[in-house]
Amino acid sequence: MDKKKTAFYNFLFLAVAAGILIFLFMAPPETTVKVPRDKAHIEFYHMPKKEAERHCSECHGKEVGNPLPKEHPPKYRCLFCHKFSKGS
């Protein structure tokens, strides 16, 4: 390859990489509610996520307790969006 082609491909690579970085930095901030670190939820912090998710529907998603809004996405992957909070 000649130097002009190499320089063009280097420039193209940098332009694409810069475009991807700009796209990622423009992402909106995370707004999903975190899992509280309280008496009701602390036991789930020590479980694998898939196992902890099996217990969410015991309190959430029913008419009593903390019902989910009608437009809430599928209820079987709670911890995909709702992260555990850090700290004590």
Beta strand ranges found along 1-88 (DSSP E): none
With 60 as the cut, is the pLDDT of residue 88 above it?
A: no
With 90 as the cut, is the pLDDT of residue 22 above it?
A: yes
The CATH class for the domain spanning 3-81 reads mainly alpha
pLDDT digits 0-9 by tens, 39-59: 989 999 999 988 998 888 888
Q: What are phi and psi of 49, to 5 degrees?
A: -55, -45
**How many Cα neighbours within 13 Å face the side chain of 40?**
9
- The pLDDT-based confidence of 64 (bands split at 50, 70, 90) is low
- The pLDDT-based confidence of 76 (bands split at 50, 70, 90) is confident
With 90 as the cut, is the pLDDT of residue 24 above it?
A: yes
User: For all residues of the chain together, what is the average pLDDT?
Assistant: 87
Residues ≥6 apart with Cβ < 8 Å to 40: 59
- The pLDDT-based confidence of 63 (bands split at 50, 70, 90) is low
What pLDDT sits at residue 18? Answer: 98
Distance CA 11, CA 75 (A): 45
Residues ≥6 apart with Cβ < 8 Å to 61: 67, 68, 75
